[in-house]
């Protein structure tokens, strides 16, 4: 789901726009991400992803206007830049699955989407690349561990420490996630 799709969904669910939430959060004196997310969950019953999107729109309104490629460059900057080429090759391979593959970068990771449905997330670290894959019903394995609290938007995580680890098995998992989306 794209950033805008989260905000559109919140408006449909609550009848409130980002401007409405901005006014209310200001009245309540809320200025930190965590407290805004808790408030939105408690008062409006929003899920974590939706509350996080609203909080981001409230705290970083300029982020939404930043082009995707600039957001991706920011994610893969500094010590994480070593993973940019690997990410680009991975994304190109997933785009071969169909013409409906898109990305939605956040501050820390890139969501890989099929239409509006999340397929995977790619989150670089200095020494590794975490790949989250959304495959409901697939059993966790030693390599494809349950995502757990790492990221609730996906079901499994595989930690890549060498680009060669993005092999046929990883691509099979990504294809199954792609086919299961939508």
Residues 38 and 79 in one domain: no
Kindly report whether the global pTM for this prediction surpasses the value 0.85. Answer: no
pLDDT in tens, the chain (182 residues): 567 777 878 888 898 888 888 888 888 888 899 999 999 999 999 998 898 888 888 887 665 566 788 889 989 999 999 999 999 999 999 999 999 999 999 888 999 999 989 999 999 999 999 999 999 999 999 999 999 989 888 999 999 999 999 999 999 999 999 999 97
Residues 103 and 21 in one domain: no
Quick check: helix, strand or coil at residue 91?
Answer: helix
Last residue of a domain, one of 65, 81, 96: 65
Residues 75 and 137 in one domain: yes
Q: What is the pLDDT of residue 116?
A: 86
State how many domains the chain has: 2
Residues 134 and 93 in one domain: yes
Task: Give me the domain span that covers residue 58.
Answer: 3-65
Residues 47 and 128 in one domain: no
Last residue of a domain, one of 40, 65, 90: 65
Residues 46 and 111 in one domain: no
Residues 6+ apart with CB under 8 A from 175: 97
Could you give the CA distance from residue 109 to residue 90 in angstroms, rounded to a whole number?
14
Measured at the CA of 37, the angle between CA 36 and CA 41, to 5 degrees, comes to: 115
Q: What is the pLDDT of residue 59?
A: 85
Residues 81 and 159 in one domain: yes
Residues 108 and 152 in one domain: yes
User: What's the token pair of residue 67?
Assistant: 């082009």
Residues 85 and 169 in one domain: yes
């Amino acid at each position: 789901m794209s950033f805008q799709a989260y905000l559109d969904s919140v408006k449909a669910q609550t009848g409130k726009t980002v401007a409405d939430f901005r006014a209310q959060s200001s009245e309540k004196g809320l200025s930190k991400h965590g407290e805004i997310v808790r408030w939105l969950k408690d008062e409006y019953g929003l899920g974590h992803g939706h509350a996080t999107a609203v909080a981001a729109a409230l705290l970083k309104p300029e982020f939404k206007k930043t082009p995707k490629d600039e957001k991706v460059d920011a994610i893969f900057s500094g010590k994480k830049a070593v993973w940019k080429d690997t990410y680009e090759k991975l994304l190109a391979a997933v785009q071969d699955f169909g013409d409906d593959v898109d990305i939605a970068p956040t501050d820390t990771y890139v969501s890989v989407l099929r239409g509006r449905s999340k397929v995977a997330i790619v989150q670089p670290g200095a020494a590794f690349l975490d790949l989250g894959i959304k495959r409901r019903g697939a059993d966790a394995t030693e390599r494809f561990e349950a995502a757990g609290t790492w990221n609730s938007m996906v079901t499994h995580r595989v930690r890549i420490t060498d680009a060669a680890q993005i092999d046929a098995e990883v691509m099979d998992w990504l294809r199954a996630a792609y086919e299961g989306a939508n």
